[in-house]
Chains A and B, each alone.
Chain A
Amino acid sequence: MDALTGSLKMITNGSVLVYILKGLGFTIGIAFFAVVLGIIIGTILALVRNYCNKGAAKIFKYISIAYIEIFRNTPLMLWIFIGLVFFPSIEFPTEFTKLFELSRTEMAVLFKAIIALVLFTSSVIAEIVRGGLNSISKGRFEAAYSQGFNLPQTLLFIIIPQTFKNIVPTLLSQVITTVKDTSYIANIAVAELMGRTFQLIQISPRYTGFSTQNVSDVFVLCGLACVMYFAVNFTISLVVRHMQKPKRIKAAAKIEELQ
């Protein structure tokens, strides 16, 4: 029991708790950044893959297909490692890295990992957007053309707004996955929740007052991280379920009608 008291002392220690909470902040921030950029890149990829069907533009279609399939069928962790070795090291000004309480090297490594995450996430989101695009009926295109819209206008003003309205729940589910995926960054950098949890597990004796690691340290730290991840992700999944409720009721009514 003494060991457990020691472990609990660790998380009731204000500075450790703040350190972990900042890690959670990184996790949410990185996931948000990756999803927003992923939506932008993914939408472009999906549009190119679906609608660049003419002449020389076809080359872009093939590039987009290659990009999506390559990133979808290889693990994120591989890209994080590749990023670590091959992506350019960006020299952030010290004032900027200080904002995040990271050293310049740490920031550079973290940035590479985030780029890898963005590249990976954009390929998944591209497929989600494409699913949404394909579920929009051809009649919408024809109606838009008959009103004098050309293809880019049709896509921008008619198709994309409708697509996004449909895929919001799926995109939110992807946010959950991305929040979990940020944990892979722990393999190369200590900034987000998983990395900080692992780091604290390794140096726990500094805070518990014991000379060695105790199993209760692992339980307490992993448990706390679990609770945090769960709180964030479960909230999002409740939102998803809430958003799909009207759609489900509508579908149930439609089945009733068909009988």
Chain B
Amino acid sequence: MFDAEKWEIVWTHRQTFIDGTLSTLLMALFGLLIALVLGIIFGLMSTSRSRLPRVIARIYVEFIQNTPLMLQALFLFYAVVFSGIEGFSALLCGIIALGIYHGAYISEVIRAGITAVPKGQLEAAYSQGFTHIAAMFYIVLPQTIKIILPPMVNQVVNLIKNTSCMFLAGGAVDLISRTNAFAVGEGTGTAAGQGYIIGGVTFFIICFPLSMLASHWEKKLKMRDVATVKVRKKPDDISDAELDMIIDNKGGESNGRVDGQS
């Protein structure tokens, strides 16, 4: 572990790790952008008043959340390869797969956030002549931001951890794939342990502050009085996060659905 020679091998190949980190961050950033767009669209659809968009959003969320990301990524990769579209790299495939997968989770987060805003707010907006979409955009969404921030940041952490989804399809661009290539590579294989330490520490440095931020915000949110959810609701509209608050009538650590981890 403290063998200077082995660390020297890592140092001479430092570009591998830098490139890996950069492409992981690149995938995470653009994947997150797609996920946010999809999440907002489907999140709004799932709170729509008409049935069709609700059903479509439900199917999207259930289908994506119940199948593994690896399978989706692999399927997408092969579909693109066989259709012969030019210019689709494994990186781009990974970004799209990540976007679609985490879009489903983000849409659920947004749906929970929207249902946490009292109905009266919407009704007031309608009475002022807002259309449904305008009311959502100007009145409801700004109020949901606070509620959805902690689970959203958790999703970002998961997204960063999931950037390795293209490994099977041969997309050795992200940090884990490159670390692994380093660890099994000829000439560098002796420093496998050091390589993994670098890879792991890099992930930890990126993800740990985000996780801390999420749990800090979550604690702050739970501290707020139960009064914020004292609105008459149908049983199905109560989000997991609210359940414990209402029943125990107090704060406490999260007991909500921890999902999308990898």
Known A-B contacts A131-B254, A131-B255, A215-B82; A194 and B262 likewise in contact (beta carbons under 8 Å): no
How far is the CB of B173 from the nearest CB of chain A, in Å? Answer: 14
Q: Which of B14-69 contact A (CB under 8 A)?
A: 62-63, 65-69
The interface-forming segment of A10-18, A55-63, A81-89, A148-156 is A81-89
Across the interface, which residues of B come within 8 angstroms of A72, CB to CB?
207, 211
Stretch among B3-11, B88-96, B198-206 lining the A interface: B198-206
**Contact residues of B: prevailing secondary structure:** helix
Would you call B70 and A183 a contact (CB within 8 A)?
yes
User: Which residues from 184 to 213 on chain A have a C-beta closer than 8 Å to any C-beta of chain B?
Assistant: 184, 186-187, 194, 197-198, 201
The 8 Å CB contact of B203, one of A74, A218, A226, A233, is A74
Stretch at the interface among B109-117, B128-136, B138-146, B227-235: B227-235
Give Cα A174 to B260, complex, Å: 9
Given contacts A69-B211, A215-B79, contact A186 B70 (CB under 8 A): yes
Q: Does B179 contact A (CB under 8 A)?
A: yes
Partner of A85, one of B69, B167, B196, B247: B196
B71 at interface by CB-CB < 8 Å = yes
Mask, A134-169, CB within 8 Å of B = 1, is 110100000000000000000000000000001100
- Majority SS at the chain A contact face: helix
Task: Please tell me if A77 contacts chain B, counting CB pairs below 8 Å.
Answer: yes
Complex Cα gap A137–B253 (Å): 12
How many angstroms from the CA of A137 to the CA of B193 in the assembled complex? Answer: 45
Asked if B168 is at the interface (CB within 8 A of a chain A CB), the reply is: yes
Q: What's the Cα separation between A19 and B236 when bound, in Å? A: 40
Q: Given A75-B176, A85-B192, A127-B258, are A249 and B71 neighbors across the interface (CB < 8 Å)?
A: no
CA of A197 to CA of B202, assembled, Å: 32
Assess whether A40 is interfacial by the CB under 8 Å rule: no
B65 CB, min distance to chain A CBs, angstroms = 8
Q: Do the beta carbons of A78 and B255 come within 8 Å of each other?
A: no
Q: How many A-B residue pairs have CB under 8 A?
A: 183
Within A105-124, the residues touching B (CB, 8 Å) are: 124
**When chains A and B are docked, how far (Å) is the Cα of A86 from the Cα of B259?**
28
Contact A247 B230 (CB under 8 A): no
State whether A234 touches B253 (Cβ < 8 A).
Answer: no
Indicate if the CB atoms of B70 and A248 lie closer than 8 Å. Answer: no
How many chain B residues sit at the interface, stated as a range, is 35 or more
- Inter-chain CA distance A183–B191, complex, in Å, is 28
- Residues in B with CB closer than 8 Å to A215 are 78-79, 82-83
> Nearest Cβ in chain B — how far from A168, in angstroms?
11
Flag B235-255 by CB within 8 Å of A: 1 or 0 each: 110101011101110101111
Determine whether the beta carbon of A180 is less than 8 Å from that of B234: no
Chain B residue nearest in CB terms to A252: B235
- Whether, in the assembled complex, A242 has its beta carbon less than 8 Å from a beta carbon of chain B, the answer is no
A45 at interface by CB-CB < 8 Å: no
Please, which residues of chain A bring their CB within 8 A of the CB of B74?
198, 201, 222
Q: Are B67 and A78 in contact (CB under 8 A)?
A: no
Most buried by B among A73, A130, A176, A252: A73
CB distance from A32 to the nearest CB of B (A): 16
Which residues of B sit under 8 angstroms from A244, Cβ to Cβ?
240, 243
Chain B residues positioned under 8 Å from A258 (CB to CB): 230
Does B256 touch A at the CB level, under 8 Å?
A: yes
Scan A1-44; emit 1 where CB is below 8 A from any B CB, else 0. Answer: 00000000000000000000000000000000000000000000
Instruction: For B180, give its contact among A70, A81, A134, A167 (CB under 8 Å).
Output: A81
- In the assembled complex, B155 has its CB within 8 A of some CB on chain A: no
**Is residue A54 contacting chain B, with contact meaning CB distance below 8 A?**
no
Q: Are A74 and B244 interface neighbours, CB within 8 A?
A: no
Known: A198-B168, A226-B67. A78 touches B78 (CB 8 A): no
When C-beta atoms are compared, the residue in chain B nearest to A197 turns out to be: B71
> Within 8 Å of chain B (Cβ to Cβ): is A48?
no
Does any Cβ of B come within 8 Å of A98's Cβ?
Answer: no
A-B contact pairs, 23 of them (CB 8 A): A72-B207, A73-B157, A73-B208, A73-B211, A74-B161, A75-B164, A77-B164, A85-B192, A85-B196, A127-B258, A166-B255, A177-B261, A181-B262, A183-B70, A183-B71, A184-B262, A201-B78, A222-B78, A225-B71, A229-B66, A248-B235, A251-B238, A255-B232
